[in-house]
Amino acid sequence: MATTLGAPARARRRIVGTPSSWLVWGVVAFFLVNLAGVVGSVLVSSFGTRWFGTWLPEGFTGSWYASAWREFGLFDVVWVTLQVSLLVVLISVLIGVPASYVLARRDFPGKKLVYFAFLLPILMPPITYGIPLATVLYKYGFAGNMSGVVLANLVPSVPFVILTMTPFIEQINPSIEAAARMCGAGVRAMFLRVLGPLLVPGILAAAILVLVRTVGMFELTFLTAGPDSQTLVVSLYYAMSAAGIRAQQSVDAMAVIYTSTMLVLLVVALRYVNPTQLVARVKETPQ
């Protein structure tokens, strides 16, 4: 597939390439063909009418999308998903960025401990802390509605912002801040007018990664959501595990809607996030 989309000029040279190249690209092609099969079968099924044992369905229709939209109340679900993810992004940036500024610029007693505390929620499997967290949230009446979903999703998001932003702030030259202070800027002016604009690309990258993670986060939302606070993934899971009640194709249609949402987010994300930043983030992780 896409492998052959490489430059024709280069591809001509590759034909006499080493056997190892052939092997690697062969494996990639095999992976991609199967991946296309996995995605394609859902896509075809979501547009198909009756499909039993043949290569393609008997006919094509768009009506499954309409019925999925109505049956699952997708408007509400998408609206909830949007609200939850935007709230999570906003709050985690507001909490995370100041903290990462301190971690990037200061050395203080107990810094390692604080860093470790921020690292743990990312390293732990969501179910491990999700079950006690859901219990605690239910105890205080937060779970079962949107506030609980937002709070639970913040647990991995805030540390994620911190771990992404700390290396980003570290690479900003501290003498810029010193210069601003010397020219008479107060702390507030320094943050808003000097540091703020410099941080925008990093914040944008972190925010988009958090957005993608939150839209895709299944476990924590699943454990804390009530009937009217489900996000798209969770309601998709319920639709699928209750299969038999609903037509297979409308579940497929819903899955396609979910994936297209994520795809748009990811393409936007890849415009702002480059692999160098990914390494910077990960290099921080194991300390």
The footprint of another protein on residues 52-111 (CB under 8 A) is 52-53, 55, 94-96, 98-99, 101-103, 105-109
Contact indicator for 93, 165 with CB cutoff of 8 Å: no
Contact residue for another protein among 26, 30, 32, 178 (CB under 8 A)? 32
Contact residue for another protein among 69, 73, 82, 129 (CB under 8 A)? 129
Stretch in the footprint of another protein (CB under 8 A) among 58-66, 72-80, 126-134, 172-180: 126-134
> Residue 146: which of 234, 265, 208 has the closest Cα?
234
Distance CA 151, CA 220 (A): 10
Contact residue for another protein among 66, 90, 117, 179 (CB under 8 A)? 117
C-alpha neighbours within 13 Å on the C-beta side of residue 17? 13
**What DSSP designation does 60 have?**
B
CB nearer another protein, residue 1 or residue 183: 1
CB nearer another protein, residue 32 or residue 66: 32
Task: Name which of residues 247 to 276 contact another protein (CB under 8 A).
Answer: 251-252, 255-256, 258-259, 262-263, 265-267, 270, 275-276
Can residue 198 be called a binding residue for another protein (CB under 8 A)?
no
> Residue 169: which of 92, 115, 101 has the closest Cα?
101
Distance CA 1, CA 28 (A): 9
CB nearer another protein, residue 184 or residue 200: 184
Stretch in the footprint of another protein (CB under 8 A) among 41-49, 69-77, 82-90, 192-200: 41-49
Distance CA 157, CA 266 (A): 17
Stretch in the footprint of another protein (CB under 8 A) among 22-30, 66-74, 75-83, 195-203: 22-30
CB nearer another protein, residue 104 or residue 204: 104
Sort residue 36 into left (φ over 0), alpha (ψ -120 to 50) or beta.
Answer: alpha
Number of residues engaging another protein in binding (CB under 8 A): 98
Q: Residues 256-261: contacts with CB within 8 Å, 24+ apart?
A: 256/42, 256/43, 256/46, 257/65, 257/68, 257/74, 257/232, 258/232, 258/233, 259/39, 261/78, 261/81, 261/215, 261/232
Contact residue for another protein among 39, 178, 179, 242 (CB under 8 A)? 39
Task: Name which of residues 155 to 194 contact another protein (CB under 8 A).
Answer: 155, 158-159, 162, 186-188
Dihedral of the alpha carbons of 71, 74, 76, 79, in degrees to the nearest 10: 180
CB nearer another protein, residue 203 or residue 255: 255
Least gap, CB of 118 to another protein (angstroms): 6
Contact residue for another protein among 26, 30, 35, 59 (CB under 8 A)? 35
Stretch in the footprint of another protein (CB under 8 A) among 21-29, 59-67, 72-80, 197-205: 21-29
| Partners of 60 in the β-ladder | 48
Q: Is the dihedral of CA 272, 278, 280, 286 positive or negative?
A: positive
Contact residue for another protein among 47, 65, 118, 160 (CB under 8 A)? 118
Contact indicator for 210, 95 with CB cutoff of 8 Å: no
Task: Name which of residues 199 to 218 contact another protein (CB under 8 A).
Answer: 212, 216, 218
> Residue 201: which of 169, 177, 159, 173 has the closest Cα?
169
